[in-house]
Amino acid sequence: MRDWVLSTGLEPSAYGTHSMRRTKVAQIYKKTGNLRAVQLLLGHTKMDSTVRCLGVDLDNALSLSEGIDL
């Protein structure tokens, strides 16, 4: 991973496997607004963990989740 980050011209200490994992689901969330899908992809049992991981504020998360029928 370190070599790949270096090859892109970025600082390796700022990137790791966990941050890359979070980046992927953050993009999915941004495009779909589907917190439940992101929760499942991350393997979280609690929505709070997913919201915290994404850095989404609670009001935004609740309004999005209320708009999605499961």
Predicted confidence (pLDDT) per residue in 4-52, tens digit: 777 878 777 776 666 666 778 888 888 888 889 999 998 999 988 888 8
φ, ψ of residue 24 in degrees (nearest 5)? -60, -50
Q: What's 45's DSSP letter?
A: S
In angstroms, the CA 38 to CA 3 distance is: 28
In angstroms, the CA 57 to CA 20 distance is: 21
Model confidence at 3, pLDDT cuts 50, 70, 90, reads: confident
pTM value surpassing 0.85: no
- Tokens 């980046």 belong to 23
In angstroms, the CA 19 to CA 28 distance is: 14
- Number of Cβ atoms within 10 Å of the Cβ of 18: 9
